[in-house]
């Protein structure tokens, strides 16, 4: 088959027509580029972010990815771009691992990709020294000693955990120091600028709260970090004698109350135990030995008065006291005459 026949083969012709139609449609409806491209930076941590809304024009693109490239500004003519993120689905790209020179000038570009098509590049210039934000101190600690307040400041750190003073040698700290009263009001704030990592303030009052906030600063280039959260500490001092007496008396009263309560609880428990297991009235030994023997045995047992009357008497007649008639006294009948067989 010659080249001429292959070119005019119907299948090849349809395939070429389809590809040309797709290319023409992609050219007619270009993929929208990223929008609102900007940086999120802190010390030497850099992040490029952007927005991209799926408009009606891009509705046919099911999957959209993004590519980010960078190059040093003085190498821009060489067109030797380095790729930071290749076809990522996120709307951001972390540039921290690219090891950008803090004092260098770079050009970055980002575009969107989809269905064998891509948008135009969106360009952005970046200089870390100029555009990167400065972070607050990594740590602030307070310590009260005698009549002084020591403030220990740790430098902000790079992405490699080194001091930012390696990048900004003229880095210093803007310290706001104030007394904190009971109503949570700021009293007589003081401001100190220092490049030292240890600062001592006079603590004029004992048993008083003092608070500190610190901001990192640089004048060349001009940078201001956010303030760190306030750090507060309570100063110590000598306790007044009357407070010592009050604390002692209060402790003594509480101790006595606890001892009396424990003694009362012990006495009540002891009394209940003794009344339960060692009563004052003891039963005769015979009752303790045979508590459950039935009636009729030779072992003595208790009988109620009504039960005895029913057992030995049929009828009982109560008469008045016997009187004497003509010098003779009445005779008392024996008990057997009142028995069951008595008439």
What pLDDT was estimated at residue 116? 80
Q: CA-CA distance, 77 to 74, in Å (whole number)?
A: 8
> 320: which 2 tokens?
């008045």
Q: Which residue has 């570009």 as its token pair?
A: 109
Predicted local confidence at residue 63, as pLDDT:
82
Question: Residue ranges of the domains in the chain?
Answer: 31-131, 139-234
Helix then strand count (H, E) for the chain reads 6, 16
Q: Block means of pLDDT (10 residues each) for the chain, length 343 residues?
A: 44 44 48 92 96 67 87 92 94 94 96 87 95 96 85 95 95 92 69 94 83 95 94 80 85 93 91 79 62 53 53 62 52 48 45
Q: Which residues contact 339 (CB under 8 A, 6 or more apart)?
A: 312, 313, 314
Report DSSP letters for 156-194, one per residue: PB-TTS-BGGGT-TT-EEEEEEEEE-TT--EEEEEEEEE
- Return the pLDDT at 162: 95
Distance CA 207, CA 182 (A): 11
The pLDDT value given to residue 308: 52
CB of 150 closer than 8 Å to CB of 200:
yes
Architecture of domain 31-131: Sandwich (2.60)
The residues, any chain, with a CB within 8 Å of residue 125's CB and separated by 6 or more, are 73, 105, 106, 107, 108
Residue 85 is predicted with a pLDDT of 95
Angstrom distance (rounded) from CA 120 to CA 43: 31
Give yes or no for a contact between 159 and 97, defined as CB atoms under 8 angstroms apart.
Answer: no
**Rg of the chain in Å (alpha carbons):** 53
Of 330, 310, 312, 308, nearest in space to 320 by CA: 330
Pair of tokens at residue 200: 């001592």
Please, are residues 140 and 212 in contact by the beta-carbon 8 Å criterion?
A: yes
Sign of dihedral through CA atoms 82, 85, 86, 92?
Answer: negative
| CA proximity to 35, closest of 127, 112, 125 | 112
Place of tokens 């240890």: 198
pTM of this prediction?
0.62
Instruction: Return the CATH superfamily for domain 139-234.
Output: Immunoglobulins (2.60.40.10)
Q: Helix, strand, or coil here: 127?
A: coil
pLDDT at 257: 93
């Amino acid at each position: 088959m010659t080249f001429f026949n292959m070119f005019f083969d119907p299948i090849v012709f349809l395939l070429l027509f389809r590809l040309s139609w797709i290319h023409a449609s992609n050219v007619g409806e270009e993929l929208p580029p990223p929008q609102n491209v900007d940086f999120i930076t802190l010390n030497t941590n850099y992040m490029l972010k952007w927005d991209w809304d799926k408009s009606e024009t891009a509705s046919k693109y099911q999957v959209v990815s993004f590519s980010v490239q960078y190059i040093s500004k003085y190498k821009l003519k060489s067109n030797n771009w380095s790729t930071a993120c290749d076809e990522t689905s996120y709307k951001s790209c972390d540039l921290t691992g690219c090891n950008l020179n803090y004092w260098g000038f770079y050009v970055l570009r980002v575009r969107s990709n989809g269905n064998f098509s891509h948008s135009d590049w969106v360009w952005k210039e970046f200089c870390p020294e100029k555009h990167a934000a400065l972070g607050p101190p990594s740590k602030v600690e307070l310590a009260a000693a005698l009549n002084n307040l020591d403030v220990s400041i740790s430098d902000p750190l790079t992405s490699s955990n080194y001091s930012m003073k390696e990048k900004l040698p003229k880095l210093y700290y803007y310290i706001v120091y104030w007394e904190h009263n009971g109503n949570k009001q700021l009293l007589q704030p003081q401001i100190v600028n220092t490049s030292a990592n240890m600062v001592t303030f006079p603590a004029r009052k004992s048993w008083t709260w003092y608070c500190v906030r610190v901001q990192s600063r640089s004048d060349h280039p001009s940078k201001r970090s956010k303030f760190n959260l306030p750090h507060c500490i309570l100063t110590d001092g000598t306790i007044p004698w009357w407070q010592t007496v009050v604390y002692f008396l209060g402790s003594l009263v509480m101790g006595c109350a606890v001892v009396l309560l424990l003694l009362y609880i012990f006495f009540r428990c002891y009394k209940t135990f003794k009344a339960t297991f060692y009563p004052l009235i003891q039963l005769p030994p015979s009752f303790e030995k045979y508590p459950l023997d039935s009636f009729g045995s030779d072992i003595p047992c208790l009988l109620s008065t009504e039960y005895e009357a029913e057992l030995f008497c049929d009828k009982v007649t109560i008469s008045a006291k016997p009187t004497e008639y003509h010098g003779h006294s009445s005779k008392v009948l024996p008990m057997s005459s009142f028995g069951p067989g008595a008439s």
